[in-house]
Amino acid sequence: MNKTNQLPLSGQTSIVTGASSGLGQAIAISLGKAGSNVCVNFHGNEDGAKETQARIEEIGAKCIIVKGDVGKPKDVAKIFEKTTGAFGDIHILVNNAGIQEDKPLVDMSYEEWDKVIQTNLYGSFLSAQTAAKTFLSQNTEKSPDKCIGKIIFISSVHDIIPWGGRVNYSASKGGIKNLMKSMAQELAPQKIRVNSISPGAIKTPINEDQWKDEANLKVLLKKIPYARIGEPEDIGKVAAWLASEEADYITGTTIYVDGGMTLYPSFAED
Ligand code: NAI
């Protein structure tokens, strides 16, 4: 018997972008654990994608890996086509792929600005738009009774906390915040739920300079009232829950999973 029967997401199919490492890998595994078939998208790191796939198949869920750049419309179309080809209807998109390239504002080239916006904001838009079109084409009823699809953006606490030296990154995440809300408003009547998860500091390759070095970690922990750095699984579990029927009445919301980073902890000392 298929081990994924009766789980919260059994019979459903998910796409996770940038799932060859870090949060994307943990989210893909959590969705597999919840019973979903998973498409693991990767950009450069095929070995990482294969590792994610092996860990999902070990659980007993089905998984494919698909190479593609989320900033390119043709690649995004291919990711969705391959997933439909493998599993049929698609139910969940997690827009996780993202990059960070730091530079003081006055030194930032147009290319350095554009590269981050292209991946983080355009990539999220393209994947979310394709997901919405796919959900609607799979369900032709005008006002369905039940949820027909779920879109989750992996944003950042920097969609509300300004971040000097990284204006490209924080602008991309701030853009995602209102992209998510506007999409949620537009798609709710068609029973598509759209939400964001905004992580604080989570131990992944994107920020290893901040947690591998003990002195840097000490500085970082001062910004986290809950006094620990996050683990990728902290985000994976929330994503699986948010995609499930348990969260059916949630749309247009951002869930901050940040150990209290957005509580402005330095004010506690005043
Ligand atoms: P990561 O560097 O391990 O993951 C980023 C993933 O995106 C990689 O697998 C990379 O190959 C993929 N990627 C990059 N460009 C791509 C493209 N053009 N097309 C497809 N995939 C592409 O870092 P992490 O931390 O797992 O980042 C995942 C998401 O979480 C990002 O959107 C990041 O901004 C966000 N985030 C991470 C935080 C953290 O503390 N780790 C905090 C807040 C947000």
User: What is the average pLDDT across 19-40?
Assistant: 98
Pocket of ligand 1 (CB under 6 A): 17-18, 20-24, 41-45, 69-71, 96-99, 119, 123, 154, 156, 199, 201-202, 204-207
Query: 0.95 exceeded by the pTM?
Result: yes
> Which residue has the least CA distance to atom 21 on ligand 1?
18
- pLDDT score recorded for residue 140: 87
Within-domain flag for 216: no
5 C-alpha to center of ligand 1: Å? 31
97 C-alpha to center of ligand 1: Å? 5
- pLDDT score recorded for residue 245: 98
User: What is the average pLDDT across 158-179?
Assistant: 98
Atom of ligand 1 nearest to the CA of 203: 41
- pLDDT score recorded for residue 175: 98
Residues of the chain with pLDDT > 70, as a percent, come to 98
169, 226, 256, 264: the catalytic one is 169
Within-domain flag for 3: no
Task: For a ligand 1 pocket test, name from 16, 20, 21, 124 the mutation site with the most ligand atoms within 8 angstroms of its C-beta.
Answer: 21
Categorize the per-residue pLDDT at 142 as very low, low, confident or very high, splitting at 50, 70 and 90: confident
pLDDT tens-digit series, residues 86-98: 999 999 999 999 9
Is 4's pLDDT higher than 70? Answer: no
> Which residue has the least CA distance to atom 43 on ligand 1?
156
Q: Which residues 6+ apart lie within 8 Å of 58 measured at CB?
A: none
Is 258's pLDDT higher than 50? Answer: yes
**Domain span including residue 157:** 9-204+231-264
Is 1's pLDDT higher than 60? Answer: no
Within-domain flag for 209: no
Within-domain flag for 178: yes
* Distance of alpha carbon 240 from alpha carbon 33, whole angstroms: 9
Within-domain flag for 125: yes
CB 154 within 8 A of CB 199: yes
15 closest CA partner among 149, 111, 195, 168: 149
Q: Is 169 a catalytic residue?
A: yes
Task: Please state the domain count of the chain.
Answer: 1
96 C-alpha to center of ligand 1: Å? 6
* Distance of alpha carbon 73 from alpha carbon 78, whole angstroms: 9
Is 117's pLDDT higher than 80? Answer: yes
* Distance of alpha carbon 62 from alpha carbon 4, whole angstroms: 9
Within-domain flag for 95: yes
Write the CATH number for 192.
3.40.50.720
Within-domain flag for 133: yes
270 C-alpha to center of ligand 1: Å? 35
Q: Tokens 């348990």 appear where?
A: 246
108 C-alpha to center of ligand 1: Å? 21
Strand partners, 59: none
23 C-alpha to center of ligand 1: Å? 7
> Which residue has the least CA distance to atom 32 on ligand 1?
98
- Quickly list DSSP for the chain: --TTTTSTTTT-EEEETTTTSHHHHHHHHHHHHTT-EEEEEESS-HHHHHHHHHHHHHHT--EEEEE--TTSHHHHHHHHHHHHHHHSS--EEEE---------GGG--HHHHHHHHIIIIIHHHHHHHHHHHHHHHH---SS-SS--EEEEEE--GGGTS--TT-HHHHHHHHHHHHHHHHHHHHHGGGTEEEEEEEE-SB-SGGGHHHHSSHHHHHHHHTT-TT-S-B-HHHHHHHHHHHHSGGGTT--S-EEEESTTGGG-GGGGG-
Task: For a ligand 1 pocket test, name from 72, 168, 206 the mutation site with the most ligand atoms within 8 angstroms of its C-beta.
Answer: 206
131 closest CA partner among 80, 205, 66, 200: 80
- pLDDT score recorded for residue 224: 97
Average pLDDT for the chain? 96
Within-domain flag for 221: no
Task: For a ligand 1 pocket test, name from 40, 99, 117, 224 the mutation site with the most ligand atoms within 8 angstroms of its C-beta.
Answer: 99
